[in-house]
Structure 1
Amino acid sequence: MRHHISIFITIIAAFMLMSCSANDAPDNRKISDDAPIIRLMDADARGLDPQIMSDLSSVRVAMDQFEGLTRYDENGHVILGLAKKMQVSADGLIWHFTLREGVQFSDGQKIMAAHFARGFARIMDEKSASPHRALFGIIKSVEPQGADQIVIKLYQPFPALPQLLAHPAMAALPFHRIDAVGDKWTQDRPMVGSGPYILSSWQLNQKLSLVINPQYHGSRPKNNGVDWTPSDNKQTAMRRILARQADISGDYPESRQEWLQKNYPQLVRISPYIGSYYFVFNLRKTPFNDARVRRALSMAVNRQWMSEKMLGGNGANISNQPAYGVVPPSLYDGAAYRPYWANWPMEMRRTEARKLLSAAGYGPNNPLSFDIRYNSSSEHRRAAVAMATMWRDIGVDAKNLNSEASLHFDMLRRGDFALARSGWIADYAAPENFLAIHQTTSGSQNYTGYNNPAFVNALEMAVAEGNEKKRMAAMQYAEKIMMDDNIVIPLYFYISRALVQPYIRGYEDNPANIHPSQFIWRTKEAMK
Structure 2
Amino acid sequence: MRIITLLGFVLLLVGCGSDADTDSMPGPDQIVRLSDSEIKGLDPQKISDLSSLRVAADQFEGLTRLDAAGNAEPGLAGDWSVSDDGLQWTFRLRDGLEFSDGTAFDATLFPQIWTRLLASETASPTKALFENIASVSAKDQAFVVVTLRAPAPSLTILLAHPAMAALPLHRIDEAGDKWTSERPMTVSGPYQLATWQLNDHARMTRNPEWHDEPAPTATIIWKPMDDSLSAMRLFLSGGADIAADYPASRHKWLVENHPDLAHSVPYLGSYYFAFNTRKAPFDDSRVRTALSMAVERKWIAEKVIGIGNVPAWNLLPPELTGGISAKPIWADWDRERRLVAARQLLAEAGYGPAKALTFEIRFNSSAEHRRVSVALAAMWKDLNVQASLFNSEAALHFAALRQHDFALARSGWIADLPIPENFLTVHQMANGSGNYSGYDSAAYDAVVAQAMITVDPDKRNSLMRLADQTLVNDMPILPLYFYVTRSLVSKRIEGWQDNISNVHPSRTLRISRK
Q: TM-score, normalised by structure 2?
A: 0.78
Paired residue secondary structure (2:466) = helix
Residue 472 (1) aligns with residue 465 (2): no
Q: Is the 8 A contact 2:204 2:220 kept in 1?
A: yes
Deviation at 1:515, TM superposition (A): 1.0
Identify which of 428, 435, 438 aligns with 2:424. Answer: 435
In the TM superposition, what are the counterparts of 1:70-219 in structure 2 within 5 Å?
Answer: 70-123=64-117, 130=124, 132-133=126-127, 135-176=129-170, 191-199=185-193, 200-201=195-196, 203-204=198-199, 207-219=201-213
Task: Look up the match of 1:424.
Answer: 414
Letter in 2 for 1:277: S
Task: Look up the match of 1:400.
Answer: 391
Task: Look up the match of 1:275.
Answer: 268
**Larger of the two Rg values belongs to structure:** 2
Task: Look up the match of 1:369.
Answer: 360
Paired residue secondary structure (1:368) = strand
CA distance in 1, matches of 2:300, 2:175: 50
Deviation at 1:53, TM superposition (A): 3.9
CA distance in 1, matches of 2:429, 2:281: 18
Task: Look up the match of 1:461.
Answer: 450
Letter in 1 for 2:260: Q
Residue 330 (1) aligns with residue 281 (2): no
TM-superposition CA deviations, 1:386-422 (whole Å, max 9, x none): 445546662111233455xxx6998699769853443
User: Compared with structure 1, are the counterparts of its residues 96 and 256 closer, same or farther at alpha carbon in structure 2 (3 Å cutoff)?
Assistant: same
User: Compared with structure 1, are the counterparts of its residues 92 and 300 closer, same or farther at alpha carbon in structure 2 (3 Å cutoff)?
Assistant: same
Residue 41 (1) aligns with residue 30 (2): no
Letter in 2 for 1:226: I
Q: Which moved more, 1:141-150 or 1:107-116?
A: 107-116
Task: Look up the match of 1:520.
Answer: 509
Letter in 2 for 1:80: P
CA distance in 1, matches of 2:436, 2:504: 28
Task: Look up the match of 1:8.
Answer: none
Paired residue secondary structure (2:99) = coil
Q: TM-score, normalised by structure 1?
A: 0.76
Task: Look up the match of 1:228.
Answer: 222
Deviation at 1:50, TM superposition (A): 3.6
Letter in 2 for 1:432: E
Task: Look up the match of 2:51.
Answer: 57
CA distance in 1, matches of 2:401, 2:315: 19
User: Compared with structure 1, are the counterparts of its residues 32 and 238 closer, same or farther at alpha carbon in structure 2 (3 Å cutoff)?
Assistant: closer
Q: Is the 8 A contact 1:380 1:421 kept in 2?
A: no
Structure 2, unaligned runs of 5 or more:
16-24
User: Compared with structure 1, are the counterparts of its residues 385 and 367 closer, same or farther at alpha carbon in structure 2 (3 Å cutoff)?
Assistant: closer
Letter in 1 for 2:496: Y
User: Compared with structure 1, are the counterparts of its residues 417 and 364 closer, same or farther at alpha carbon in structure 2 (3 Å cutoff)?
Assistant: same
User: Compared with structure 1, are the counterparts of its residues 179 and 504 closer, same or farther at alpha carbon in structure 2 (3 Å cutoff)?
Assistant: same
Q: How many percent of aligned residue pairs carry the same amino acid?
A: 39
User: Compared with structure 1, are the counterparts of its residues 227 and 289 closer, same or farther at alpha carbon in structure 2 (3 Å cutoff)?
Assistant: farther
Letter in 1 for 2:240: A
Task: Look up the match of 1:7.
Answer: none
User: Compared with structure 1, are the counterparts of its residues 167 and 355 closer, same or farther at alpha carbon in structure 2 (3 Å cutoff)?
Assistant: same
CA distance in 2, matches of 1:47, 1:296: 47
Paired residue secondary structure (1:103) = coil
Q: Is the 8 A contact 1:117 1:143 kept in 2?
A: yes
Deviation at 1:354, TM superposition (A): 10
CA distance in 2, matches of 1:411, 1:234: 27
Q: Is the 8 A contact 2:327 2:472 kept in 1?
A: no
Deviation at 1:474, TM superposition (A): 1.3
Q: Is the 8 A contact 2:10 2:234 kept in 1?
A: no
User: Compared with structure 1, are the counterparts of its residues 50 and 286 closer, same or farther at alpha carbon in structure 2 (3 Å cutoff)?
Assistant: farther
TM-superposition CA deviations, 1:131-188 (whole Å, max 9, x none): 5455434433221123332012234444332222212232223444555677776566
CA distance in 2, matches of 1:186, 1:448: 41
CA distance in 1, matches of 2:361, 2:174: 48
User: Compared with structure 1, are the counterparts of its residues 243 and 175 closer, same or farther at alpha carbon in structure 2 (3 Å cutoff)?
Assistant: same
User: Compared with structure 1, are the counterparts of its residues 297 and 219 closer, same or farther at alpha carbon in structure 2 (3 Å cutoff)?
Assistant: farther
Deviation at 1:350, TM superposition (A): 6.3
User: Compared with structure 1, are the counterparts of its residues 215 and 467 closer, same or farther at alpha carbon in structure 2 (3 Å cutoff)?
Assistant: closer
Deviation at 1:438, TM superposition (A): 4.0
TM-superposition CA deviations, 1:187-208 (whole Å, max 9, x none): 666554322233442625x545
CA distance in 1, matches of 2:460, 2:303: 36
CA distance in 2, matches of 1:171, 1:473: 32
Q: Is the 8 A contact 1:435 1:479 kept in 2?
A: yes
Letter in 2 for 1:259: W
Residue 490 (1) aligns with residue 485 (2): no
User: Compared with structure 1, are the counterparts of its residues 470 and 251 closer, same or farther at alpha carbon in structure 2 (3 Å cutoff)?
Assistant: same
In the TM superposition, what are the counterparts of 1:237-248 in structure 2 within 5 Å?
Answer: 237-248=231-242
Letter in 1 for 2:412: S
User: Compared with structure 1, are the counterparts of its residues 47 and 238 closer, same or farther at alpha carbon in structure 2 (3 Å cutoff)?
Assistant: same
Deviation at 1:68, TM superposition (A): 0.6
Paired residue secondary structure (2:156) = helix
Identify which of 300, 303, 319 aligns with 1:306. Answer: 300
Q: Which moved more, 1:250-259 or 1:298-307?
A: 250-259
Letter in 2 for 1:475: M
Q: Which moved more, 1:62-71 or 1:29-38?
A: 29-38
TM-superposition CA deviations, 1:47-67 (whole Å, max 9, x none): 544445444334323221221
